[in-house]
Amino acid sequence: MVQVTSMVDYENVDGVAVLTLDNPPVNALSQGVRQGLLEGVARAEADDTVKGVLIHCKGGTFIAGADITEFGSGPLEPDLRSVLVALDNAGKPIVAAIHGTALGGGLETALCCHYRVAVASAKLGLPEVNLGLLPGAGGTQRLPRVVGVEKALQMVTTGVPVSATEALEAGLVDRVIEGDLRTGALAFTREKIAQGGTLLRIRDREDKLQSAREHPEIFDQLRKAIARKTRGFLAPEYNIRCIEAAVKQPFDEGMKTESKLFKELMTGPQSAAQQYFFFAERQAGKIPDLPKDTVELPIARVGVIGSGTMGGGIAMNMVNVGIPVTIVEVKAEALERGLAVIRKNYENTARKGRISQADVEQRCALISGSLDLNELADCDLVIEAVFEDMAVKKDIFSRLDGIARPGAILASNTSALDINEIAAVTKRPESVIGLHFFSPANVMKLLEVVRGAKTSPEVIKTCMSLAKRIRKTAVLVGVCHGFVGNRILFYRQRQAEQLALEGAPPHQVDKVLYDFGFPMGAFQMSDLAGLDIGWNAKTSRGATVKDRLCEMDRRGQKTGAGFYDYDENRNPTPSPVAEELFAEFAAKAGISRREITDEEILERCVLPMINEGAKILDEGIAIRASDIDVVYVYGYGWPVHRGGPMHYANSLGLDKVLARLRHYHELTGDDFWKPSQYLVALAEKGDRFS
């Protein structure tokens, strides 16, 4: 065995040159890997005793892509494209042996091999679109030549990898290897050597392009189909253009188009934001003050209190990964309804073909319902998901304290209330934590994990890793009203309503937020959530527009009216009733109304979010700025191509953010606009949120 570089070994195994890559954790194509591949192939070509080459990786995965940490640090020779040309032009058969994931540049490397074999659990994909990029090393030109244009379009625009079985069917993999991969791949390589014949390069194949040449309309059909979902993002469109180039241009021209569009994306702000977010998401799982040897508690059974929308969604998360759940309700009808909704949700998913009917039955069988809190005695974690009323929550937690086994974790799904106050009614505040799921809880990726003053490190660690297990991204936050997400949202909401009072109709405010990239605006969001959250019919005095709307039974989408009017399909139209109410309240408050520009609306909705984010950092409620961004992208649909509010502030420049906050502070005299001291200090030093 020879070490070609510190990341690539070369071994001549009876005439097969085995190149073993070892670059933990994911065998990314760092400089040492590229250099090793280039030199390894050259060595194999020069050695007459070598008849074929096998590329194989150590560790948990095949190459998972280019090394993202190298992006932006200038080109380090050799560049990936020239390495791949060497593979493509080799005179001896090269086989890629794939396990784990072959992603991005990893799959592009495999596409420059003459053959690909994989273990059944492997996944292959071009996920560059998720980094605001496109495959820049020939992936867009080679993949359609192997799997066909439609499949390639689907893979590059969604970034979703395919399984080894799908890859085999599509011709992307030549054999699925049972048993030891290296042994099986070596045998496969020897077979190919024995077969002999001319080596077929993917770049020379044209057959799979033919159908798209005859039906060029498929490109526009796809554009239309994904328009809403990819609104505002450049990368999906650029990926489509590259595949179009593969169909319309000769291979070398197509490569030039790919290269040009790749560079455009790579130097643009969207990819910078999406690359930033890739690391932000991974950073969120790192808790600096958690001792390394903190023990994780076992979670084998979960209790959920409340079978409403949140409780049901939370239960589904658990049973989706095989954790049995007991749901406790107060009334039999409510419990029955809740369980029926869960079954209906699963049946809908099965109808769409995403799970089987057997999965539906298996998941429903893992859920048991009860009207007795005592049934939760053997649960390792109990999550309370009843309505937002401190007295009710305290009552539940004090009863639960007498029921749950010692050491069980007691969690509240509150979206705003004080976890410390809840913990104080128990004799085990160290076991109490907030687990704030976002609605719909079985869909939304975010979990805000709220640590109380006394929550133990074990409980924090267990909840962070449970989040991973149920495929959520967890962000650890501290206690304050609304935690990170809702606290910041209150500020945007307040400003949205102020804008409506000053003359911007709700639908204009919403359109500005939608065009910025949010899935919906502030008023649509309120209507969806229900305007009666925190509203009480008995005590309502019509003090706000919202109160008055609720009094008129316009309580949002569920009652067919709120800030908007809704048709039977819940399509909104601007409501004269709501607009008149804003005008009436403005007149009472002596506010003179005017036309407001879209620029002002955007600024006045977003700047307070940034300012509140800065205060949250100053108070230590969030560990780092990027955690706030993760909360916003995964919890509230902040467009990831803008990185999140804190990244967006950095991209605007904190000096500019500060100047605009000061402008509104002076203009209104309202301390709502007072810049956070933390932001002032950073901006004055010329610094950024980091």
Q: Which is nearer to ligand 3HC, 113 or 410 (CB)?
A: 113
Q: CA–CA separation, 172 vs 143, rounded Å?
A: 8
CB of 65 to ligand 3HC, least distance (A): 2
Assign residue 159 a region (left: φ > 0; alpha: ψ between -120 and 50; beta: otherwise). Answer: left
Place of tokens 């605007």: 652
In this chain, which of 26, 255, 304, 607 binds ligand 3HC, going by CB under 6 A?
Answer: 26
In this chain, which of 93, 104, 148, 521 binds ligand 3HC, going by CB under 6 A?
Answer: 104
Pairing of strands 432-437, 123-125: unpaired
Stretch 75-94: interaction string toward ligand 3HC, x if CB under 6 A: -----x--------------
Please answer whether residues 21 and 28 qualify as being in contact, where contact means their C-beta atoms are separated by less than 8 angstroms: no
Q: Of the residues 11, 39, 70, 108, which is catalytic? A: 108
Give ∠ CA 304-305-311 in degrees, rounded to 5.
Answer: 65
In this chain, which of 32, 52, 127, 643 binds ligand 3HC, going by CB under 6 A?
Answer: 127
Pick out residues in 220-239 that bind ligand 3HC (CB under 6 A): none
In this chain, which of 3, 69, 183, 267 binds ligand 3HC, going by CB under 6 A?
Answer: 69
Q: Which is nearer to ligand 3HC, 140 or 317 (CB)?
A: 140
Please answer whether residues 459 and 466 qualify as being in contact, where contact means their C-beta atoms are separated by less than 8 angstroms: no
Which span (60-68, 325-333, 409-417, 443-451) binds ligand 3HC, by CB under 6 A?
60-68
Q: CA–CA separation, 260 vs 502, rounded Å?
A: 47
In this chain, which of 101, 414, 462, 473 binds ligand 3HC, going by CB under 6 A?
Answer: 101
679 to 480, 606, 618: CA distances (angstroms)? 19, 15, 9
In this chain, which of 137, 162, 209, 366 binds ligand 3HC, going by CB under 6 A?
Answer: 137
Which span (43-51, 61-69, 237-245, 518-526) binds ligand 3HC, by CB under 6 A?
61-69
* Total Cβ atoms within 10 A of residue 210: 12
The first and second tokens of residue 478, run together, are 């501290």
Q: Is 68 in the site for ligand 3HC (CB under 6 A)?
A: yes
Size of the site for ligand 3HC (CB under 6 A): 24
Please answer whether residues 485 and 636 qualify as being in contact, where contact means their C-beta atoms are separated by less than 8 angstroms: yes
Q: Which residues contact 573 (CB under 8 A, 6 or more apart)?
A: 564, 565, 566, 567
Q: CA–CA separation, 293 vs 313, rounded Å?
A: 32
Q: Which is nearer to ligand 3HC, 80 or 640 (CB)?
A: 80
Q: CA–CA separation, 564 vs 578, rounded Å?
A: 7
Stretch 419-448: interaction string toward ligand 3HC, x if CB under 6 A: ------------------------------
Pick out residues in 254-283 that bind ligand 3HC (CB under 6 A): 282
In this chain, which of 93, 105, 184, 338 binds ligand 3HC, going by CB under 6 A?
Answer: 105
In the chain, count H helices and then E strands: 28, 20
Peptide bond into 440 cis (omega under 30): yes
Q: CA–CA separation, 638 vs 603, rounded Å?
A: 15
Q: Which of 435, 421, 420, 376 is nearest to 401 (CA)?
A: 376
Pick out residues in 279-298 that bind ligand 3HC (CB under 6 A): 282
CB of 485 to ligand 3HC, least distance (A): 23
Which span (63-71, 172-180, 320-328, 390-398) binds ligand 3HC, by CB under 6 A?
63-71
Q: Which is nearer to ligand 3HC, 80 or 649 (CB)?
A: 80
Which span (133-141, 195-203, 309-317, 457-465) binds ligand 3HC, by CB under 6 A?
133-141
Which span (125-133, 182-190, 511-519, 665-673) binds ligand 3HC, by CB under 6 A?
125-133
Which span (96-104, 245-253, 517-525, 586-594) binds ligand 3HC, by CB under 6 A?
96-104
Peptide bond into 25 cis (omega under 30): yes
Peptide bond into 639 cis (omega under 30): no
In this chain, which of 52, 65, 303, 369 binds ligand 3HC, going by CB under 6 A?
Answer: 65
**Residue 178 is a catalytic residue:** no
Q: Is 66 in the site for ligand 3HC (CB under 6 A)?
A: yes
Q: CA–CA separation, 469 vs 435, rounded Å?
A: 14
CB of 258 to ligand 3HC, least distance (A): 9
Q: Is 357 in the site for ligand 3HC (CB under 6 A)?
A: no
Pairing of strands 473-477, 446-451: parallel
In this chain, which of 52, 132, 136, 369 binds ligand 3HC, going by CB under 6 A?
Answer: 136
Longest Cα–Cα distance of the chain, Å, equals 92
Q: Of the residues 11, 39, 45, 128, which is catalytic? A: 128
In this chain, which of 131, 234, 646, 649 binds ligand 3HC, going by CB under 6 A?
Answer: 131
**Residue 497 is a catalytic residue:** no
Beta strands in 438-491 (DSSP E): 446-451, 473-477
Q: CA–CA separation, 380 vs 183, rounded Å?
A: 44
Does the CA dihedral 290-295-298-304 come out positive or negative? negative
Phi, psi torsion values for 638, nearest 5 degrees: -60, 130
| Active-site residue list | 108, 128
Binding site for ligand 3HC (CB under 6 A): 25-26, 28, 64-69, 80, 101, 103-105, 108, 127-128, 131, 133, 135-137, 139, 282
